[in-house]
């Protein structure tokens, strides 16, 4: 792979191998004369039409599609996805063993096309590194409509992700429309909507894996069906771990779960069903005399063993439905059957605990998009890296200048390393199936979905698809800009417009946009927890009641419309670098910016929530302008800028 050359192609994820040839194939004024050789299926025809229908010129250009085998009605883990693609002056030809590979080839073609519809002549050989390349969307904390999920699926297909994990239930809401366990007063999907989504995803080679979280995260379920567990809680609007738990001692609970999962399996054809298992707060289990009697009768030693008893029972139910269960890494317990797949989220170290005990793993640790980290942070974590490297990457975040304001909170998560032996490498009995990015939605409602996903998800998608030695993150960012442009056409997703609309609605007027474009939300869970709940957490208690946000909090502040990572700030860093290398044009650009920023000080129409940032930026402009005019030394300027470098 000639990565330097290939890195110039506007592709995300980068293919495994590209052989560049001379010349290009122009599709201007052309239509594609499609020949589907070998196999033709309706799904293949639709996929080809989605690509080819955009070309309506008179001149025919041949597109030959060779597909050996039809896929099943729904894709499953491990289906063949490789493809080969050749663009030559005479036309385009692609080959794949499967429909799924053809779709990937068409996606690559769509990205290869330049703005004036030319394709570079080349040959591409491509296949995924991992079979499981997912995105979790939490549709429980905030409802995300089927239409928004459809365009998310389009975007996923554009970066070759192949699993949409729907976190359907949580304390705040239960979005699965169960007949046996109906829930009142909640916005739910209809079965038709969910089935439509599964079908829409399958048309694009994407699996939909549903999650019903249990035995914790069930407050919404218990509010309507209190006999299933701890009856202490009614409906809840707040975030944070709740006390409500299913009762693991009652046969009627397993019967209800059996009916519920049976209904789930009717709607979702995927081989995997996710049964949650995270963040169980078993206070009630420890106090209930009935549960104590049950444990004694069953010879269950302690509450962790009780939880694994529950997990094993539910896993059996899943298997009785001819499906495989997945659980979050809290299910790891010596008593839990090793055939259960584990989704690793509590830091990198849980991975090797799971692998050593033979579990197949899906890696989500360090791929949490709700932490609002920049793309390069996620890009730096490799699902298969040796543990020492992963821990070093986690440690490095603590001294990353962009994350210093949350270093204390991030350090708190290192408690999860206890029990995991650093220095281990994978390669033990389990297998890494792949990974999933996760978007938890406490602070994400539908209007924020696109901008929280798409400047960073493509980095994770590339990590899951491309070869492990594709590490040049600067090159990734260069490709991201045209990729985001293409996303508008492919999926009707325009992150820049979304951001502008939201900050405008928050009261930002045009003169203030140059400031707002340079802002980023505070990172990690600083905002979700708030000062008091964060302080409490760091001192060993939790104060969920102190969290400033709940389900009904309006998400209409400037911060809600910001890109998690300012692309304008990245541009600015580039200008600064060129200026300090002596580039006169860049120096001029910087002088103009400094002048503009200085001007903020004189304006009287600043939104109160922007006032501190406006003061900061105008002071930066002042010092920078003086430096550029030779009135302030480099050292003094740097000292002033460092003094100004405080988040708020």
3-state helix vs strand vs coil in the chain, percent to 5 = 45, 15, 40
Closest distance between ligand ACM and the C-beta of residue 381, in Å?
16
Number of Cβ within a 10 Å radius of residue 230:
24
Q: How far apart are CA 444 and CA 229, in angstroms?
A: 29
Q: What are phi and psi of 625, to 5 degrees?
A: -60, -40
Residue number with CB closer to ligand ACM (84 or 523)? 523
Buried b (16+ CB within 10 A) or exposed e, 291-325: beebbeeeebeeeebbbbbbbbebbebbeeeebbb
- Residue count at the site for ligand ACM (CB under 6 A)? 4
What is the smallest separation between the CB atom of 500 and ligand ACM, expressed in angstroms?
Answer: 31
Q: 3-state DSSP call for residue 283?
A: helix
Q: How many CB atoms lie within 10 A of CB 482?
A: 16
In the complex with ligand ACM, the residue whose CB is nearer, 105 or 460, is 460
**By CB under 6 A, residue 239 contacts ligand ACM:** no
Site string for ligand ACM, 319-338 (x = CB under 6 A): ---------x----------
Would you say 369 or 457 has its CB closer to ligand ACM? 369
* Residue (9 or 439) nearer to ligand ACM, CB: 439
Interface residue with ligand ACM among 279, 400, 408, 571 (CB under 6 A) is 279
Shortest reach from residue 549's CB to ligand ACM, in Å? 17
Of the residues 278, 436, 494, 640, which one makes contact with ligand ACM according to CB under 6 A: 278
Rounded CA separation 41/69 (Å): 10
Q: How far is the CB of 342 from ligand ACM (least distance, A)?
A: 11
> Which is closer to ligand ACM, CB of 390 or CB of 558?
390
Residue 247 or 278 with smaller CB distance to ligand ACM: 278
Going by C-alpha positions, the residue among 114, 360, 314 that lies closest to residue 211 is 314
Closest-CA residue to 82 (of 98, 67, 66, 106): 98
Least separation in angstroms between residue 273's CB and ligand ACM is: 16
* 351/367 Cα distance (integer angstroms): 13
Pairing of strands 118-126, 17-26: antiparallel
Q: Which C-beta is closer to ligand ACM: that of 254 or that of 416?
A: 416
Between residues 328 and 483, which has the closer beta carbon with respect to ligand ACM?
328
CB of 368 to ligand ACM, least distance (A): 7
Shorter beta-carbon distance to ligand ACM: residue 50 or 523: 523
Among 132, 239, 268, 345, binds ligand ACM (CB under 6 A): 345
- Residue with smaller CB distance to ligand ACM, 61 or 135: 135
The CA distances from residue 374 to 370, 382, 424, 452, in Å, are: 11, 16, 28, 11
Q: For the window 537-576, what string marks contact with ligand ACM as x by the rule CB under 6 A?
A: ----------------------------------------
CB of 345 vs ligand ACM, minimal distance in Å: 5
Quote the CA–CA distance of 589 and 525 in Å, as a whole number. 36
Q: Which residue is nearest to ligand ACM (CB)?
A: 278
In the complex, the smallest distance separating the C-beta of residue 170 from ligand ACM, rounded to whole angstroms, is 9
The helix/strand count (H/E) of the chain reads as 24, 14
Smallest distance from ligand ACM to CB 364, Å = 7
Q: Measuring CA to CA, how many Å separate 195 from each of 143, 265, 315?
A: 17, 11, 24
Neighbours of 238 (CB within 10 A): 16
* Closest CB 513 distance from ligand ACM, rounded Å: 34
User: What DSSP designation does 169 have?
Assistant: B
Q: Which residues in the 157-216 window bind ligand ACM by CB under 6 A?
A: none
Residue 568 beta carbon to ligand ACM: minimum distance, rounded to whole angstroms? 31
Which residues, in sequence order, are CB contacts of 563 under 8 Å at separation 6+? 451, 455, 495, 499, 520
Is the Cα torsion angle 386, 392, 397, 401 positive or negative in sign?
negative
* CB of 345 or CB of 476, closer to ligand ACM: 345
Considering the complex, state which of residue 279 and residue 501 has its C-beta at the smaller distance from ligand ACM: 279
Query: Smaller CB distance to ligand ACM: residue 278 or 382?
Result: 278
Instruction: Provide the minimum distance between the beta carbon of 272 and ligand ACM in the complex, in angstroms, as a whole number.
Output: 16
Helix (H, G, I), strand (E, B) or coil at 191: helix
Distance from the first to the final alpha carbon of the chain? 45
Q: 104 in helix, strand or coil?
A: helix
Beta bridge partners of 362: 343, 434
C-alpha count within 13 angstroms, C-beta hemisphere, residue 379:
22
Task: Quote the longest CA-to-CA distance of the chain.
Answer: 83
> Which residues within the stretch 404-463 sit at the binding site for ligand ACM (CB under 6 A)?
none
Shorter beta-carbon distance to ligand ACM: residue 370 or 462: 370
By the 8 A CB rule, do 412 and 432 touch? no
- Cα separation, 259 vs 79, in Å, equals 30
Least distance CB 363 / ligand ACM (angstroms): 13
Query: Which residues contact ligand ACM (rule: CB under 6 A)?
Result: 278-279, 328, 345
């Amino acid at each position: 792979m000639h990565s330097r050359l290939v890195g110039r192609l506007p592709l995300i994820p980068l293919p495994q191998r590209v052989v560049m040839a001379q010349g290009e194939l122009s599709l201007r004024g052309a239509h594609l004369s499609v020949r589907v050789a070998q196999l033709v299926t309706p799904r293949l025809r639709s996929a080809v039409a989605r690509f080819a229908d955009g070309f309506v010129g008179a001149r025919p250009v041949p597109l030959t599609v060779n597909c050996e085998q039809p896929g099943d009605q729904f894709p499953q883990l491990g289906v063949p996805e490789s493809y080969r693609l050749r663009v030559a002056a005479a036309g385009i030809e692609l080959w794949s063993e499967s429909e799924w590979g053809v779709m990937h080839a068409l996606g690559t073609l769509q990205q290869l096309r330049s703005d004036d519809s030319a394709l570079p002549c080349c040959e591409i050989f491509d296949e995924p590194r991992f079979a499981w390349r997912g995105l979790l969307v939490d549709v429980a904390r905030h409802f995300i409509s089927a239409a928004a999920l459809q365009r998310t699926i389009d975007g996923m297909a554009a970066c070759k992700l192949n699993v949409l994990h729907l976190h359907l239930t949580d304390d705040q809401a239960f979005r699965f429309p169960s007949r046996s366990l109906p829930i009142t007063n909640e916005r739910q999907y209809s079965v038709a909507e969910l089935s439509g989504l599964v079908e829409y995803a399958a048309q694009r080679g994407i699996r939909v894996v549903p999650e019903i979280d249990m035995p914790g995260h069930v407050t919404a379920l218990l509010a309507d069906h209190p006999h299933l567990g701890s009856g202490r809680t009614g409906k809840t609007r707040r975030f944070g771990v709740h006390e409500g738990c299913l009762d693991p001692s009652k046969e009627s609970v397993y019967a209800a779960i059996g009916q519920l999962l049976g209904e789930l399996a009717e709607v979702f054809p995927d081989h995997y069903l996710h049964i949650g298992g995270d963040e169980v707060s078993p206070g009630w289990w420890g106090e209930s005399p009935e549960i104590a009697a049950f444990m004694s009768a069953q010879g269950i030693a302690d509450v962790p063993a009780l939880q694994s008893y529950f997990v094993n029972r539910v896993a059996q139910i899943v298997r009785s439905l001819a499906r495989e269960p997945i659980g979050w890494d809290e299910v790891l317990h010596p008593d839990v059957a090793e055939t259960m797949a584990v989704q690793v989220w509590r830091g990198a170290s849980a991975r090797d605990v799971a692998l050593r005990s033979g579990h197949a793993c899906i890696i989500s640790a360090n791929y949490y998009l709700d932490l609002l980290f920049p793309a390069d942070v996620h890009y730096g974590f490799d699902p298969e890296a040796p543990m020492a490297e992963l821990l070093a990457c986690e440690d490095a975040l603590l001294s990353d200048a962009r994350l210093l304001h949350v270093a204390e909170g991030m350090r708190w998560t290192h408690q999860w390393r206890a029990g995991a032996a650093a220095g281990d490498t994978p390669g033990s009995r389990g297998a890494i199936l792949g990974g999933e990015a996760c978007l938890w939605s406490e602070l994400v409602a539908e209007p924020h979905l696109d901008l929280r996903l798409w400047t960073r998800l493509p980095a994770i998608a590339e990590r899951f698809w491309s070869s492990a030695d594709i590490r040049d993150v600067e090159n990734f960012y260069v490709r991201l800009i045209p990729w985001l442009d293409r996303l508008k056409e492919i999926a009707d997703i325009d992150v820049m417009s979304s951001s502008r609309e939201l900050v405008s609605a928050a009261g930002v007027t045009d003169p203030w946009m140059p400031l707002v474009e340079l802002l980023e939300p505070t990172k990690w869970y600083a905002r979700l927890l708030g000062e008091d709940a964060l302080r409490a957490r760091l001192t060993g208690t939790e104060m969920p009641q102190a969290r400033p946000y709940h389900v009904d909090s309006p998400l209409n502040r400037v911060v809600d419309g910001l890109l998690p990572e300012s692309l304008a700030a990245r541009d600015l860093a580039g200008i600064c670098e060129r200026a300090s290398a002596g580039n006169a044009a860049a120096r001029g650009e910087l002088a103009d910016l400094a002048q503009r920023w200085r001007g903020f000080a004189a304006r009287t129409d600043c939104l109160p929530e922007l006032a501190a940032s406006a003061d900061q930026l105008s002071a930066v402009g002042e010092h920078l302008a003086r430096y550029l005019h030779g009135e302030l030394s480099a050292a003094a300027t740097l000292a002033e800028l460092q003094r100004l470098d405080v988040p708020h």
